[in-house]
Amino acid sequence: MISFFQQILIYSDIILLVGMLCIAVLLIALWRRQSWFIRQITDQRMAVDTRFSAMEQLMRGQERQLMEMLLNDRERQRTALHQLQHQIQRLLSQSHQMLEKRLGELQRQLLDEGGQLKVNLVERFDQFQQRVSHTLAENRVNQQESLTQGIEGIGRQLLEGLTSTAESLGKQVNQLVESNDQRLKEIGGLVEKRLSEGFEKTTETFNRVLEHLTRIDEAQKRISELSSNVVSLQEVLSDKRSRGAFGEVQLTALISNLMPESSYSLQHTLSNHTRVDCMLMLPEPTGKIGIDAKFPLESYRKMTDTEASEQVRTRAQSQFRQDIRKHIDDIAGKYIIPGETSDGAVMFIPAESVFAEIHGHFPDLVDEAFRKKVWLVSPTTMMAILTTARAVLKDAATREQVHLIQRHLHLLSKDFGRFQGRMDKLAVHIRQAHEDVKDAAISANKITKRFGQIERVELDELPPSTSIARIGETVEGL
C-alpha cells in the first residue's frame, strides 16, 4: 500500500512538472520568436537610416565641392579682376545658370528617388506588418490549441489518477474493514468457544469431584461395613514397601483423575539427585511443588494398639512424634530447592484417621511443618488441593488466551492507527493535487491573456503607422 500511494504521488508530481516545463518551453519559444521579429524590423530600419545618412553625406560633399570651386573662382577672379571682369561675370552667370540647372535636376532626381523609396518602404512595411500579424495570429492559435490540449490532457490524467486512486483506496478500505470484521468475529467466536469449553470443563470437573466424593463416602461406608473381610490398615501398612506403595497408588489415583498429564510428573528426579513421588507443574509464581507419599506409620500402629500396655503406647507416641518431625525435616531439605521448586512441599498422609490424630493431638508438629513450609494433607484435603490446582491451570490458560486476544486487538489498533495516518496523508496529497490543478488552470488563463497582450504588443514601443509616417517625413525632408 505504501509503494502504491508513493507511486501515485510521484506520477502526479512528474505530470505537474512536465506540464510546467512545457509551458515554460512554449513561453521561451514565443519570446525568442518575438525577439527575432523585433530584430528583423530593427535591422531593416537601421538599413533605411544608413541609406538616408549616405544620401545626406553625398549631398553635403557636393555642396562642399561647389563651395570650394566658388572660392577658387573668386580667388582667380580677384587676381585678374581688372583684366577679366567681363569674362568673369559672363563665366559667373554661366556657372550660376549651370549650377541652378544642375541643382534643379539633382533635386528632381532626389525627389523622384525619395518618393519611390517612400513607396517601396511603405509597401514593404505593410507586407511585413501583415506577415507579422498573420504569423503571430497563427502562432497564438497554435500555442493556445497546444496549451489547451496539454492542460486538458494533464487535467484528464490527474482526474483519472485521482479517480483510480480513490476507487483503489475505497476498495482497500472496504477490504480492510471486512477483514477486521471477520477477524473480530473469529476472535470473538474463539473467545466464546474457549470460555464455553472452560465453563463446561469446570462444571464437569466439579461434577466429577462430587461424584468422587460420593464414591469415597460410599467406599468408606463399605469399608466400615465389610471390615471383617478387609485386611486392617495396620496389617497393610506394617511393611515400609507396602506402606509406600499404598500411598503412591492412592496419590497416583487422585492426581490422574483430577489433573492433566502435562501438569504433573511421577517419580521426578531433582537437581540434588533425589526422587520425589510426584511433582506438580503449576504456573508461576507457584511453580513446581513436590509431594511425598511415604508416611511413617509403624509408631502410629503401636500407639493405637488397644492390646498394648500404656507404657508401650506412650513410647510409641513419642516415637511417632520423632518420626513425623524427622519426616518433615527430610521433606523440607530434599524437596524444597530455591530457584527450582516452590518454597513449599506437600506431605501426603494416606489415612484420614492419621491426619485427624496429628491435628488433634500434635499441634506442635503442625506448627513446625507450617514454619518449614511442609503442608500436611489427607486424601480429602489432597482432592481439594488438586481441584484448586486444576482451576489455577485453567485460569492460567484462560489468561494466556486473553493476553493473546489483547495482543491481537493491540496490533489491530496499531494497524488502524497507521491506516488513519496514511488516510490523512493521502487526503493532504489529494487536496494539494487539487490546489495544483487550480494553480495550473490560473497559470493557463494568465498565459492565454498574455498571448492576447503579445498579439497587441507595440513594436519597438511605436505603432507601425507612426514609424512609417516618420520615415516618410524624413524622406520628404531630404
Q: Whole-angstrom Cα distance, residue 448 to residue 148? A: 9
pLDDT computed for residue 462 by the predictor: 46
Rounded average pLDDT over 143-151: 63
Q: What is the DSSP string of 34-66?
A: HHHHHHHHHHHHHHHHHHHHHHHHHHHHHHHHH
Contact 285, 265 (CB under 8 A): no
pLDDT computed for residue 127 by the predictor: 67
Rounded average pLDDT over 242-254: 72
Confidence of residue 225 (pLDDT cuts 50, 70, 90): low
Answer yes or no: is pLDDT of 469 > 60.
no
Angle between helices 85-225 and 464-477 (to 10 degrees): 160
295 phi, psi to nearest 5 deg: -105, 135
Contact 319, 331 (CB under 8 A): no
Q: Rg (Cα) of the chain, in Å, rounded?
A: 62
pTM, two decimal places? 0.38
Contact 295, 327 (CB under 8 A): yes
Rounded average pLDDT over 347-363: 86
- Coil, strand or helix at 348: strand
Answer yes or no: is pLDDT of 128 > 50.
yes
Cis peptide before 379 (omega within 30 of 0): no
Q: Whole-angstrom Cα distance, residue 62 to residue 54? A: 12
Contact 373, 344 (CB under 8 A): yes
Angle (CA) 285-290-296 rounded to 5° is 145
pLDDT computed for residue 472 by the predictor: 46
pLDDT computed for residue 81 by the predictor: 59
Q: pLDDT tens across 303-338, in order?
A: 877 777 888 888 888 888 888 888 889 888 888 888
Rounded average pLDDT over 213-223: 70
C-alpha cell at 103: 541643382
> Which of 430, 350, 357, 387 has its CA nearest to residue 170?
430
pLDDT computed for residue 12 by the predictor: 67
pLDDT computed for residue 393 by the predictor: 83
C-alpha cell at 443: 497559470
- The larger pLDDT score, comparing residue 25 to residue 83, is at 25
Q: Comparing 96-105, 302-311, 437-446, which segment has the lowest mean pLDDT?
A: 96-105
Q: Whole-angstrom Cα distance, residue 347 to residue 331? A: 8
Average pLDDT of the residues of the chain: 72
Contact 270, 276 (CB under 8 A): yes
Region of 460 on the Ramachandran plot (φ > 0 left; ψ -120 to 50 alpha; else beta): left
Separation in Å, CA 257 to CA 9, 62, 208, 252, 390: 67, 145, 9, 8, 11
C-alpha cell at 191: 473467545
96 phi, psi to nearest 5 deg: -65, -45
Confidence of residue 467 (pLDDT cuts 50, 70, 90): very low
Task: Out of 52-61, 75-84, 100-109, give the one with best mean pLDDT.
Answer: 52-61
Sign of CA dihedral 111, 115, 116, 117: positive
Residue position matching grid coordinates 505504501: 2
- The larger pLDDT score, comparing residue 344 to residue 196, is at 344
Provide, rounded to the nearest whole percent, the portion of the chain with pLDDT above 90.
Answer: 0
Answer yes or no: is pLDDT of 415 > 50.
yes
Rounded average pLDDT over 446-452: 72
Confidence of residue 95 (pLDDT cuts 50, 70, 90): low
pLDDT computed for residue 241 by the predictor: 52
Q: Comparing 36-50, 169-183, 247-261, which segment has the lowest mean pLDDT?
A: 169-183
- Coil, strand or helix at 311: helix
- Coil, strand or helix at 437: helix
C-alpha cell at 310: 500404656
Helices first, then strands: H and E counts in the chain: 10, 5
Answer yes or no: is pLDDT of 112 > 80.
no
Rounded average pLDDT over 270-291: 85
C-alpha 364, offset from chain centre:
69
Q: pLDDT tens across 378-391, in order?
A: 888 888 888 888 88
> Which of 257, 261, 273, 282 has its CA nearest to residue 346?
282
Cα-based torsion angle of the residue sequence 178, 184, 185, 187 in order, rounded to the nearest 10 degrees: 140
Contact 381, 355 (CB under 8 A): yes
Q: pLDDT tens across 261-279, in order?
A: 888 888 888 888 888 888 8
Q: Whole-angstrom Cα distance, residue 172 to residue 169? A: 5
Answer yes or no: is pLDDT of 468 > 50.
no
- The larger pLDDT score, comparing residue 124 to residue 322, is at 322
